[in-house]
């Protein structure tokens, strides 16, 4: 089963997607992550959008710099989407081996401006055994510290 989410995030914005269940036996894997700017690049509306999915809430979200660290175990996915005529393409990187059974957080930074960015996420729902659910919960707890 596929669950989908869509929305719009302001520059420096963060949104929580509720995925947790009482028993933790429902897991999710990101299978699609797409973004598109709120505004076109015509008329000087250039932007450079970094939209990320996290397994834990971020204390702050920058509006000017978008550091990406693949060593961070709480980073689930990254979408880079430049909104200008020179680079009119988007790139998503999804860590497909990550199974989550807790809430996830989506953040957005426009490194060149202050535009909002739209996102679309598809999650594959996975039934977890008790052992798999426990491992996912412990991994999430360890990452929060």
Helix (H, G, I), strand (E, B) or coil at 100: strand
Place of tokens 């989550």: 100
- 81 pLDDT tier (thresholds 50, 70, 90): confident
Helix H or strand E encompassing 63: none
Query: Is pLDDT larger for residue 36 or for residue 144?
Result: 36
**Residues of the chain above pLDDT 90, percent:** 50
CA torsion sign for 27, 33, 98, 142 is negative
Phi-psi region of 13 (alpha: psi -120 to 50; beta: other; left: phi over 0): beta
């Amino acid at each position: 089963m596929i669950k989908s989410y869509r929305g719009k995030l302001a520059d420096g914005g963060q949104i929580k997607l509720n995925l947790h269940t009482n028993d933790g036996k429902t897991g999710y894997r990101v299978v699609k992550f797409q973004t598109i700017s709120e505004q076109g690049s015509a008329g000087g509306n250039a932007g450079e959008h970094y939209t990320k999915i996290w397994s834990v809430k971020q204390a702050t979200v920058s509006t000017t710099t978008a550091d990406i660290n693949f060593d961070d175990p709480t980073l689930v996915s990254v979408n880079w989407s430049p909104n200008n005529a020179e680079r009119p393409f988007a790139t998503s990187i999804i860590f497909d081996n990550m199974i989550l059974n807790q809430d996830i957080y989506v953040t957005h930074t426009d490194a060149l401006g202050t535009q909002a960015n739209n996102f679309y996420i598809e999650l594959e729902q996975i039934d977890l055994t008790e052992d798999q659910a426990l491992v996912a919960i412990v991994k999430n707890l360890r990452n929060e510290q």
